[in-house]
Amino acid sequence: MKVYQTSEIRNIALVGGAKTGKTTLAESMLFEGGVINRRGSVDEKNSVSDYREIELERQNSVSSTVLYSEYNGKKVNIIDTPGFDDFVGEVVSALRVVDTAIMVVNAQNGVEVGTEISWRSTTKNNTPVIFAINHLEHENSNFDETVRQLKAQFGGSCTVCQYPVNAGLGFDSFVDLIQMKLYKFPADGGKPEITDIPDSEKDKAEEMQAAMIEDLAAADEELMEKFFDAGTLTEEEMQQGLKVGLVTRGMFPILCINAKQNMGVARLLEFITNNAPAPNEVDTAKTKDGKEVKCDASGDASLFVFKTSIEPHLGEMSYFKVYSGEVTESMDMVNGETASKERLSQLMATAGKNREKIAKLVAGDIGSTIKLKSTKTNTTLNGGKNSGIVFENIVFPDPKFRVAVKAVNTGDDEKLGGILNEIHKVDQTVLVEYSRELKQLIVQGQGELHLNIVKWQLENQEKIPVEYLAPKIPYRETITKDARSMYRHKKQSGGSGQFGEVHMLIQPYTENMVDQTEFPIRGREEVQLTWGGKLIMHTCIVGGAIDARFMPAIMKGLMEKMEEGPLTGSYARDIVVSIYDGKMHPVDSNEISFKLAARHAFRDAFKNAGPKILEPIYDVEVLVPEEKMGDVMTDLQGRRAIIMGMDAEGNYQKIKAKVPLAEMNRYSTALSSITSGRAMYGMKYAEYAQVPGDIQDKLLKEYEESLEEE
């Protein structure tokens, strides 16, 4: 493969809903570019993009695939992304490094959930969008209705640049409004016959071209003046308008394809190479400290790793975009954050499961390498004087679905944790954490399907049978009023015994509270608890009733009971303890005696201090179609949600609510069912709040029963 210069590179992502034909389109693009000599298919399980075992079994993408095609003297880097929202992390990382998104739309279904979700991602990234309307050959395809929906959903800047002459069964022709030519394909696809537009279509074509030219002229002031002067634009001026409109997101061209039979794909590639922006024609990359890095092959080398995969026989592969300078095989580079050195032992251009070794990549290009020592997704590598550059991280979406996982065979427990961490390396939206508090291994992801794929990997690829369980809720315990207690620990069993007596006052801690004045405070120790809240211990001992050397043991006893609260065994928080009296024995008193006395005294006082269980509350935002809003609100209220407000966002309504975490289990599945998959939501921890009395009683009963079972 030749070395392509920055101006000869186009970086695109294929995005859109599931079953729109993105992978089939990628296959045809590679075929048209001569990268493969035979088109595979998803149905026959031989496409270059969906080559992983899970994708062959499911017959849809679960991971993005990096590909390329060579067309019209240019290299088109392609990232084929999954269509299900559960794998949105793959779309987010792809949009970070491409310069244009090809939004594939199924002409049978029009604007689907996946279209809307992908559109939001492109809007967030300010990515230019080209719509490719696919499946025009099906009986139920409806091009005009699909265009109407696109304009209604995404605005009037969605501009028809091609329209089908005979959409439906037997589709084989479309009119290209830029060239004003008819493209007619053989029955099995391939190279079209390009002819003048027949008289029967001329009036329609001229009317639609005039509408397109108006949209193009509106994207650029210079073109607007030419349009007013001449009443039209030349093909060259149209292409100028297309490029300006794309880069500024002032227009979104609509093209026609039948990806399965390779109709219109070559023209789509031609359109991309002529009109989509090169890497140096879009916004510059930004570093973490706010500096801009120009996409310039003459600068010092900098690259950014946006994806990691583990491939059979190769091991760990790192996919990167060169943002500045040039990188070459065997080049030494430096990690921008850790300053550790890495050698690019091999450079490859990947087309899914096919890989070609290359000697050099220039700014703007996308490539891959293998076996980097300490380089993961979101790593910047630099050469020359760029050693301190660190590009902004890809911000992956917060998790929405969580489960507890455990190996069926306890001997696999340690291995399970290691493999889940390897899965996180590849998919940054899979979060793994062992909770000491809950005594569970918690896995979080984007939805039930997402975590079912993780389970499939564990059981089928790693041969570790696992169980998914409902995760426990990290409750907290606290008190609402003052209480006193004393406890004497006494044990005699021959020789030295154990003796310690502790008297304490406990109070609920609040910000800026006034210290108690009943007992003189002679010492104060404040602990900022790792699980939130505080423990403050006041030493108020007078006359040496308890020796100072035993105070650390008393604090240790308090902390042990804070880590295993008296009510349900959950962490306790926000308590002030004043140790005001006690007794020692000259022989039998020791540290363990005072630690145990403090534990028991704290437990007794806690139960008399108006104890309350707190639960985690999350801020939840649900983006829902207006007609489904009532159903979603009813469901949220059934989950003890407090509705905080509603805002309009485009054609959607955003519901803001505070919801207990205990009520959010499997919410993504329920929401999808209520809205036919058209709603999406996000959630973030907000605060802890008291649980209602009936739920507290239920939790106390469950805890007592569990202790009896043990």
Pairing of strands 173-176, 181-184: antiparallel
pLDDT at position 494? 67
Classify residue 220: in a domain, yes or no: no
- Same domain flag for 601 and 508: yes
Residue 283, amino acid: D
**Confidence band, pLDDT 50/70/90 cuts, at residue 382:** very high
Q: In the listed set 416, 446, 472, which residue is the last one of a domain according to the structure? A: 472
**Confidence band, pLDDT 50/70/90 cuts, at residue 514:** very high
What 8-state DSSP symbol labels residue 544?
T
Q: Over the stretch 94-120, which tens digit does the pLDDT of each residue have?
A: 999 999 999 999 999 998 888 988 998
- Same domain flag for 273 and 310: no
How many angstroms separate the CA atoms of 603 and 562, rounded? 9
- Same domain flag for 277 and 289: no
CA distances from 323 to 119, 293, 356, 391 (A): 25, 7, 21, 10
Q: In the listed set 386, 421, 456, which residue is the last one of a domain according to the structure? A: 386
What is the average pLDDT across 436-460? 92
Query: Can you give the pTM of this predicted structure?
Result: 0.86
Classify residue 624: in a domain, yes or no: yes
- Same domain flag for 592 and 633: no
Classify residue 24: in a domain, yes or no: yes
Classify residue 394: in a domain, yes or no: no
The CA-based angle 375-380-386, given to 5 degrees, is 130
- The CATH number that applies at residue 524 is 3.30.230.10
- The CATH number that applies at residue 645 is 3.30.70.240
What is the average pLDDT across 314-331? 93
- The CATH number that applies at residue 417 is 3.30.70.870
Q: Is 541 helix (H, G, I), strand (E, B) or coil?
A: coil
Q: Over the stretch 392-417, which tens digit does the pLDDT of each residue have?
A: 999 999 888 999 999 999 889 889 99
- Same domain flag for 43 and 191: yes
- Same domain flag for 668 and 550: no
pLDDT at position 710? 59
Q: Which of 99-103, 478-482, 700-704 has the lowest mean pLDDT?
A: 700-704
Classify residue 353: in a domain, yes or no: yes
pLDDT at position 38? 85
pLDDT at position 637? 94
Q: Is the pLDDT confidence value at 379 over 80?
A: yes
Residues 513-534 as b/e (b if ≥16 CB within 10 A, e otherwise) read eeeeeebeeeeeeeeebeebbe
What 8-state DSSP symbol labels residue 72?
T
CA 135: distance to chain centroid? 29
- Same domain flag for 515 and 430: no
Q: In the listed set 424, 443, 472, which residue is the last one of a domain according to the structure? A: 472
- Same domain flag for 605 and 647: no
* 636, 671 contact by CB (below 8 A): no
- Same domain flag for 36 and 144: yes
User: What contacts 153, CB < 8 A, 6 or more positions away?
Assistant: 111, 115, 116, 119, 650, 651
pLDDT at position 181? 94
Tell me the two tokens of residue 450: 């997402």
Domain that holds residue 678: 614-695
**Confidence band, pLDDT 50/70/90 cuts, at residue 360:** very high
- The CATH number that applies at residue 187 is 3.40.50.300
Q: Is the pLDDT confidence value at 384 over 80?
A: no
Q: Is the pLDDT confidence value at 229 over 90?
A: no
- The CATH number that applies at residue 374 is 2.40.30.10
The CA-based angle 286-290-295, given to 5 degrees, is 30
Q: Is the pLDDT confidence value at 592 over 90?
A: yes
Q: Is the pLDDT confidence value at 48 over 90?
A: no
Q: Over the stretch 631-687, which tens digit does the pLDDT of each residue have?
A: 999 999 999 999 999 998 777 889 999 999 999 988 988 998 998 888 888 889 999
CA distances from 62 to 243, 254, 402, 449, 452 (A): 32, 27, 19, 10, 11
Percent of the chain exceeding pLDDT 70 equals 99
Classify residue 493: in a domain, yes or no: yes
Classify residue 243: in a domain, yes or no: no
- Same domain flag for 507 and 576: yes
* Alpha helices in 9-51, H assignment, sequence order: 22-32
Looking at the 3D structure of the chain, how many domains does it have? 5
User: What contacts 101, CB < 8 A, 6 or more positions away?
Assistant: 12, 13, 15, 95, 118, 122, 127, 128, 129, 130
- Same domain flag for 144 and 171: yes
> Residues 696, 698, 704, 710: what is their CA dihedral angle, to the nearest 10 degrees?
-120
DSSP assignment string, 380-394: EEE-GGGTT--BPPP
Classify residue 672: in a domain, yes or no: yes
What is the average pLDDT across 172-181? 94
What is the average pLDDT across 351-369? 92
Closest CA to 604 of 705, 708, 479, 520: 479
Q: Over the stretch 243-281, which tens digit does the pLDDT of each residue have?
A: 889 999 989 999 999 999 999 999 999 999 999 999 999
* 42, 132 contact by CB (below 8 A): no
**Confidence band, pLDDT 50/70/90 cuts, at residue 516:** very high
pLDDT at position 239? 85
pLDDT at position 313? 79
What is the average pLDDT across 573-593? 94
Q: Is the pLDDT confidence value at 538 over 90?
A: yes
User: What contacts 678, CB < 8 A, 6 or more positions away?
Assistant: 113, 116, 624, 625, 628
- Same domain flag for 25 and 121: yes
Mean pLDDT of the chain: 91
